[in-house]
Structure 1
Amino acid sequence: MRTNRSGRQSKGVTFISQIYSGKPDAVWEDHGDRLRLLVPKEFSFAENMKYLSRSSNECLLRTSDQLLYKAIPLKSGEISVVEISADGSDALMVRFLGGTAPSRKQNREAVVCYVRDWFDLDTDLRPFYELAKGDALLREAVNSFYGLRNIGIPDLFEAMAWGIIGQQINLAFAYTLKRRLVERFGRSVDCEGERYLVFPSARDIADLTVQDLEEVRMTRKKSEYLLDTARLIASGELTKEGLQAAGGIMEAEKQLVSIRGIGPWTANYVLMRCLRMPDAFPVDDVGLHNAVKHVLGMDRKPAKKELLAWAEGWKKWESYATFYLWRVLY
């Protein structure tokens, strides 16, 4: 039977409407081995695929001809391997591969939540696009990459680990370090002739030592920061829910920077990519500085006070402004 938005049933697939974050457009259909997720008008799968395809050394997903493949770990311990594609302009199709479709409804809903969070589908971008029309720094980026979302990192440990790994090194080497960490300490699943990797959990890392991490060739300090963070999350002392309930961006940032090895840049990166705080702003980010220099044709990188002045017009949209400016560089 099929249930429409009014609650009546009609013949066809099961139609389940879930309201995430109070957004009525968060609707999905369950087709057994496929899930169909409705997306906002301000979403372009093609633009998001371009972003996700930017590194050939990305180990946690692969792309091919507008098809996206990823292993999604669930709290139950299951791993679902999915193929994601556009289904017209108003939906994504999530197809389970190799018999990895969860049988329990709550786990299928967890896959929906993961994909919606990953693509930030519950954020209404219309106010941001309206703001960007009159902004000299953002106008061209928004026109060029319309429909791009702030691609997230739903898992807190993965987000923090990626922030730690990326400190003071170029992006290419950061991907290499991530691959080494995932291949050595993460999980994997073989599905339809391909091997899919899953980022190690905080518990996977918490019991390791600096010596255990030597073979991935991170610096000793980064190894210590990674271990400290893993132990805080594995013990339940640091949680995504706790940061979300902190009371706002300043309080959440304060919690994060109290952790050894987590400075303002890493904290704001995590708040932006994992916690989805719209006013998270990694103002000291080198990529952001280079993007502004490029857009404005400057012969030098902007000073921090200049960036803060420009960002006055981005209130509550600093994270999206940053993400779109980063995109200019890829």
Structure 2
Amino acid sequence: MTQRTTVSIPLPAGFRPADILAFHRRDAEEVAERVTDDSLRKGMLWDGTPACLSVRFDTEVATAEIALDAEAGRDLDARFEPMVRRMLGLEQAVEAFEERFRGDPAIGRMIAVRAGLRVPLTATPFEALTWAVTGQQISLKAAVSLRRRLIIAAGVRHASGLLCYPDAARLALLAEEDLRAAGFSSAKARTLRALARLVADGDLPLDAWAAAAPVEQIRTSLLAVRGVGPWTVDYVLLRGFGWLDGSLHGDVAVRRGLQALLGTEGRVGEAEAKAWLARYAPWRALVAAHLWAAGATAAY
């Protein structure tokens, strides 16, 4: 039995579907996402039920469908289109950002080269949170491998054959030993389990926060969890909620991109990057995304 719903979403002029698809193409083994030149299929859990999200891009429209392994009767429509719009970055005020800074001597040319760039979001804030913890202080390649092993350890498969990225309730069922066997350090395993329990119990209402993103409340709540630091919070606010003003000065790829942009010999330190990014508030994270895109090194 399958329940489906489909939406068609008009795309703005200059929309860049390749950026969205590249974000979901990180894992070449495609255990949970399969990407073509114009489409994405992703396994996920919708209220605990295995689901497959499909998005296909045409010139002016994105057509999205979600198929649940469940009988009809669940209310999908009210939540599905807003989720897809967030994932595609359609709520991001990139036009205002480009208008403001297209003449900026430091970043104007960088913006012009990638006009219309938006930040792809994860399907849920919880996915962004667990991905951020997974990627702490390791390379992108290592993080992708850990993420794959987490999905396999969770062991939830949709009828399409895709494995589903675990939600908080499913991840909370994994023991620390399960996560250690998947390659996570003891510290990351404990942090992931603590976050999963908090979300599953409603103490971290990430989905409820998604509509309005109360930034300071999210920041305070996440920083209270051992193993979550400022970089993780700013990354989650960006990839999970679409907040474009996080100062990602602690991100190595951002600092490398800034070094290349400025043409400096030595490495750019965190303090220097923080001061440089400050001039671009309230779009500091969007500038960081442009630096990611401009760099030769893949970013998170």
Same fold judged by TM-score > 0.5? yes
- The 3 A distance-change label for structure 1 pair 326 and 50 is same
> Do the aligned partners of 2:122 and 2:128 also contact (CA within 8 Å) in 1?
yes
TM-score, normalised to structure 1's length? 0.79
Q: 2:251 aligns with which of 260, 263, 285?
A: 285
CA distance in 2, matches of 1:54, 1:142: 24
Partner of residue 35, structure 1: 7
Distance 1:278 1:102, change over 3 A: farther
Deviation for aligned residue 1:238: 1.0
Report the CA distance between 1:151 and its aligned residue.
0.7
Matched, 1:224 2:193: no
User: Which of 206, 210, 215 does residue 249 from structure 1 map onto?
Assistant: 215
Q: Rate the CA distance shift 1:136–1:47 in 2: closer, same or farther, 3 A.
A: farther
How far apart are the structure 2 equivalents of 1:285 and 1:76?
A: 33
Could you list the runs of 4 or more consecutive aligned residues of structure 1 that deviate by over 6 angstroms after TM superposition? 99-102, 244-247
- 1:327 is matched with which residue? 293
Cα 1:121–1:184 change in 2 (3 A) is same
Q: 1:145 to 1:48 in 2, by over 3 A?
A: farther
- Structure 2 length-normalised TM: 0.86
In the TM superposition, residue 258 of structure 1 has moved relative to its aligned partner by 1.0
Higher relative contact order (CA closer than 8 Å, sequence separation 6+): 2
Amino acid at match of 1:94: A
Match of 2:153 in 1: 184
Write out aligned runs for 1:5-154 (5 A): 34-57=6-29, 59-75=31-47, 77=49, 79-82=51-54, 84-88=55-59, 90-95=60-65, 103=72, 106-154=75-123
User: Does 2:220 align with 1:259?
Assistant: no
Q: Distance in 2 between matches of 1:148 and 1:159?
A: 19
- Contact in 1 for aligned 2:171/2:196 (Cα 8 Å): yes
Structure 2 letter corresponding to 1:93: T
Q: Distance in 1 between matches of 2:194 and 2:66?
A: 35
Task: Please list the CA deviations of residues 29-80 of structure 1 after superposition, one character each: whole Å capped at 9, or x if unmatched.
Answer: xxx8753111223522234334443552564322123222223432272513
Measure how far apart 1:311 and its partner are.
1.8
Distance 1:136 1:44 in 2: 24
Match of 1:294 among 255, 260, 271: 260
Number of equivalent positions: 293
Identity of aligned residues (%): 26
Q: Which runs of 5+ in 1 are unaligned?
A: 1-31
Structure 1 residue corresponding to 2:272, chosen from 299, 306, 311: 306
Q: Does the 8 Å CA contact 1:165/1:222 hold for their aligned counterparts? A: yes
Separation in 2, partners of 1:242, 1:322: 27
Structure with larger Rg: 1
8 A Cα contact 2:134 2:188, kept in partner: yes
Deviation at 1:285, TM superposition (A): 0.9
Q: Judge conservation of contact 2:8–2:64 (CA < 8 Å) in 1.
A: yes
Q: Partner of 2:136 in structure 1?
A: 167
The answer to whether the Cα contact below 8 Å between 2:188 and 2:227 also exists between their aligned partners in 1 is: yes
Aligned-partner residue type, residue 190 of structure 1: A
- Rounded to whole Å, the distance in 2 between the matches of 1:35 and 1:100 is 19
CA shift for structure 1 position 105: 7.9
Shifted more, 57-66 versus 209-218: the winner is 57-66
Unaligned runs of 5+ in 2: none
CA distance in 2, matches of 1:70, 1:95: 11
Task: State the match for 1:198 in structure 2.
Answer: 164
Match in the other structure for 1:233: 199
**Offset at residue 276 of structure 1 (A):** 2.2
Q: Distance in 2 between matches of 1:111 and 1:72?
A: 13
| Cα distance in structure 1, aligned partners of 2:147 and 2:213 | 32
Give RMSD over aligned pairs. 2.8
Provide the C-alpha distance between the structure 1 equivalents of 2:151 and 2:168, rounded to a whole number of angstroms.
Answer: 12
CA distance, structure 1, for counterparts of residue 62 and residue 166 of structure 2: 27
Shift of 1:104: 5.0
